[in-house]
Amino acid sequence: MGSEPPFPPPPFVPDEPPPLPEGDAPGTPWERRDRIGFVAALVETTQAVLLRPTEFYTQMPVTGGVGGPLLYALILGYFGLVAATLYNLVFQSIIGSGFGAFHGRMAEFERLGRYMEGGVGAIVQLVTGPVWIVIAVFVIAGILHLLLMLVGAAPRDFEATFRVVAYSQAVSVLGLLPFCGGLIGFVWWVVIVVLGFRVVHRTSTLQAVLAVLLPVFLCCCCCTGAGILAGGSMAAALRQLQ
């Protein structure tokens, strides 16, 4: 009798499945909109991103061009912009312009403020909004990809990061919620993007959180400093007017 075991050893099963090859993901509803219909794909994609982000980004291909994801981001971003503009007009019609405190002292500034706060300002926002949405998606994706590279969490290229950011615009529908919709949307956007980076770049939660929240922290610091400077300048200007 030989020394060989009577049965062959069981096959090795790794703890985690290997990363999906480029473009081997099954696809998202938005990538299949030609087959399932434009509106159905839009609704199903938005539902999946908001409610099942990990599953959605697992199914999302990381290649194939940025045109499709950009179109989705533009549609959802513009939807949120329209909702925010309408809420702003209603809010202003109820409480009036915030420039009334300067009445009699800064009349020209007040007229300009009322002019831009009213219907003309809303029209300008709605007309130029698509351009700014496209620019914002590219800029945000570029900044986040750079930060992912800095923390060593960007094994894939810029297109993968761009796709995560573009589809995260699904949170724009939360702008329909009055008063707190913007805050809820921002918090959920952070969660969605972190989960997307974890899946797409196969990175740790800590690295994804650092890459996403670092610009938020820096932006808050800059806004706080700018607010303090603006408050001091405004107080000085009011003292001179008295």
Which residue would you say has higher pLDDT here, 196 or 219? Answer: 196
Higher confidence at residue 69 or residue 178? Answer: 69
Looking at residue 105, what DSSP letter applies? Answer: T
Structure tokens at 186: 């921002």
Rounded to two decimals, the pTM is 0.73
27 pLDDT higher than 70? yes
Q: What is the pLDDT of residue 13?
A: 45
Q: Which of 16-25, 68-77, 88-97 has the lowest mean pLDDT?
A: 16-25
Better-scored residue on pLDDT, 178 or 133 = 133
DSSP string, 26-94: ---TGGGHHHH-HHHHHHHHHHHHHH-HHHHHHHS-S-S-SHHHHHHHHHHHHHHHHHHHHHHHHHHHH
**Residue of higher predicted confidence among 227 and 202:** 202
Q: Flag the least confident range among 62-76, 145-159, 182-196, 205-219.
A: 205-219
Category of 171 on φ-ψ map: left (φ > 0), alpha (ψ -120 to 50) or beta: alpha
Sort 15 into a burial class: Cβ within 10 Å, 0-12 / 13-18 / 19+.
exposed
Above 80 in pLDDT, residue 89?
no
**Environment class of residue 197 by beta-carbon count within 10 Å: exposed (0-12), middle (13-18) or buried (19+)?**
buried
Q: Please check the confidence at residue 138 and state whether its pLDDT lies above 70.
A: yes
Q: Confirm whether 21 is domain-assigned.
A: no
Say what the pLDDT of residue 6 is.
Answer: 54
Give dist(CA 204, CA 195) in Å, integer. 10
Neighbours of 135 (CB within 10 A): 10
Let me know: does 39 contact 75? Beta carbons within 8 Å: no
Residue 93 lies in a domain: yes
Quick check: is 230 in a domain?
Answer: yes
Residue 217 belongs to a domain? yes
Higher pLDDT, 146 or 21: 146
- Residue 7 domain-assigned (yes or no): no
On the question of pLDDT at 239 being above 50, the answer is yes
Q: What is the structure's pLDDT at 126?
A: 83
127 pLDDT band (50/70/90 cuts)? confident
Tell me the CA end-to-end span of the chain in Å, nearest whole number. 109
Please state, rounded to an integer, the average pLDDT across all residues of the chain: 79
> For residue 8, is pLDDT > 50?
yes
What's residue 20's pLDDT?
46
133 within 8 A of 81, measured Cβ to Cβ:
yes
Question: Does 8 fall in a domain?
Answer: no
Interacting residues of 127 by C-beta distance below 8 A, sequence separation 6+: none
Q: Would you say residue 132 lies in a domain?
A: yes
8 A C-beta contact, residue 69 and residue 164: no
| Paired tokens of 135 | 């620019």
Token digits for 92?
A: 């202003």
What is the reported pLDDT for 216?
73
Count of domains for the chain: 1
On whether residue 161 sits in a domain, the answer given is yes
Q: For the segment 43-76, what is each residue's pLDDT rounded down to a tens digit?
A: 999 999 999 999 999 999 998 889 999 999 999 9
CA 86 to mean position of chain CA atoms: 21
Which pair of structure tokens corresponds to residue 194? 């972190």
Q: Are 162 and 138 a contacting pair, CB within 8 Å?
A: yes
Structural domain of residue 226, as residue ranges?
A: 30-241
